[in-house]
Amino acid sequence: MIQAPALVDSHCHLDFPDFAGETDQIVARARAAGVTRMVTICTRLSSEPAVRAIAQAHEGVFYAAGTHPMNAATEPMATVEALVALAAHPKFVGIGETGLDYHYTADSAAAQKQSLALHIEAARQTGLPLIIHARDADRDMADILTAEHRNGAYSCVMHCFSSGAELARAALDLGFYLSMSGIATFPKSQELRDIFAAAPLDRILVETDSPYLAPVPRRGKRNEPAYTAHTAAKGAEVFGLTPAEFAAATTANFDRLFAKAASHG
């Protein structure tokens, strides 16, 4: 019997209150579903010790840290030095999530841009991938990422990509990756699926962003890393591949971008 290649949940939030007291079970269910590795994301640096502890406690769990754009105006401003120092940990594999969010927090755009620039510089200095959150800020996001890349290259994933085709093209032109979340499984997301279908397969990752955005058929429920398999099944359909082929491709993509996680252990 040929075993299907393992999946990776490239973005989840195992420290969030939704999972309190259940981390062991959440990780076990993920493994049972074929999700053998996951990256748990810290969204405010004050939470970094707790997120780090989760990664340290579980084989196959890695972590990244940064200041989420919706927290940029309320948390202390990150420093490049602090982010670079965190990268010394063997399971710290990415910078962020950072980015721009004008949906609820457009009034803090200046702080968000300042924070984003600091995270980009930390990504340059560490060689770790930048993890970008973008919502209702496509033009500014494309302009900043492109201008910063001219100032010095860095790698990046557009996490939970649900923006427009223009931002997708800008990101892909820079050599960045697009990450497919449960949103891509929603019935009304055909335009988003078309954007993914037009992208090179070797630039696609999968994620849950759990506990949010559970994919069909779990939509409306609490999301968790095990449900990466549902999003991956839709991704295989979008690219005209078998589930095993899509799993192998996205896992190879993850290992290329998150090389530190791939070489761990």
pLDDT at 4: 56
As for how many domains the chain has, the answer is: 1
CATH number at residue 181: 3.20.20.140
Q: Which three-class secondary structure string do you get for the chain?
A: CCCCCCEEEEEECCCCHHHCCCHHHHHHHHHHCCEEEEEEEECCHHHHHHHHHHHHHCCCEEEEECCCHHHCCCCCCCCHHHHHHHCCCCCEEEEEEEEEECCCCHHHHHHHHHHHHHHHHHHHHHCCCEEEEEECCHHHHHHHHHHHHHHCCCCEEECCCCCCHHHHHHHHHCCCEEEECHHHHCCCCHHHHHHHHCCCHHHEEECCCECCCCCCCCCCCCCCHHHHHHHHHHHHHHHCCCHHHHHHHHHHHHHHHCHHHHCCC
Domain-located, residue 161: yes
Domain-located, residue 213: yes
Six-digit token string for 189: 């997301």
pLDDT at 1: 37
User: Residues within the annotated binding site?
Assistant: 11, 13, 97, 133, 159, 209
Place of tokens 């405010």: 44
pLDDT at 2: 47
Phi, psi of 142 (to 5 degrees): -65, -45
Distance in Å from the first CA to the final CA of the chain? 27
User: Residues within the annotated binding site for a divalent metal cation?
Assistant: 11, 13, 97, 133, 159, 209
Domain-located, residue 121: yes
pLDDT at 265: 80
Domain-located, residue 1: no
Provide the edge-to-edge strand list for the sheet that holds 61-65: 7-12, 35-42, 61-65, 92-101, 130-135, 156-158, 177-180, 204-206
Range of the domain at 77: 7-262
Domain-located, residue 2: no
- The separation between CA 240 and the C-alpha centre of its own chain, rounded to angstroms, equals 23
Digits of tens for pLDDT over the chain (265 positions)? Answer: 345 569 999 999 999 999 999 999 999 999 999 999 999 999 999 999 999 999 999 999 999 999 999 999 999 999 999 999 999 999 999 999 999 999 999 999 999 999 999 999 999 999 999 999 999 999 999 999 999 999 999 999 999 999 999 999 999 999 999 999 999 999 999 999 999 999 999 999 999 999 999 999 999 999 999 999 999 999 999 999 999 999 999 999 999 999 999 999 8
